[in-house]
Amino acid sequence: MKMTTDAVDKLIEDAVAAGRAAGLAVVPQPMYIQGYAPVMDGACGFAWVNVKPANSAVAKRLIARGMARKDGYYGGVTVWISDYNQSMTRKEAHARAFAATLAAAGIRAYSASRMD
């Protein structure tokens, strides 16, 4: 079924809202480094969502809205999660919820992360 631009925008807004709610709800475990104050946001890292294929309506709309870029490594398009300073825990929660919202609508979306 072909989605209208309005339907795609609504789906993206739902994914963003789910991601933000998840990112804010999770409580990172503080990171302790001997001789330094605890890092209350936990480990530092990155998280992103990959959406495939790059020519799907959702991927194209994410690019048009300035939320994603084409991904030459994984294929599809990538949405970087840049909120939450360097908190990998919060970024991962956001990315998982964002991807799950898209996946529930039948979109191929996957979350990924890496420690900095």
Predicted confidence at residue 11, as pLDDT, reads 97
Question: Can you give the pTM of this predicted structure?
Answer: 0.94
CB neighbour burial string for 34-60, b if at least 16 within 10 angstroms, e if fewer:
eeeeebebbbebbbbbbbbebebebbb
Say yes or no to pLDDT of 1 above 70. no
Please tell me the predicted confidence (pLDDT) of residue 18. Answer: 98
The SS3 call for residue 4 is: coil
Nearest-angstrom CA–CA distance, 77 and 83: 19
CA quadruple 11, 4, 104, 99: dihedral positive or negative?
Answer: negative
Tens-digit pLDDT profile for residues 57-107: 999 999 999 999 998 888 999 999 999 999 999 999 999 999 999 999 999
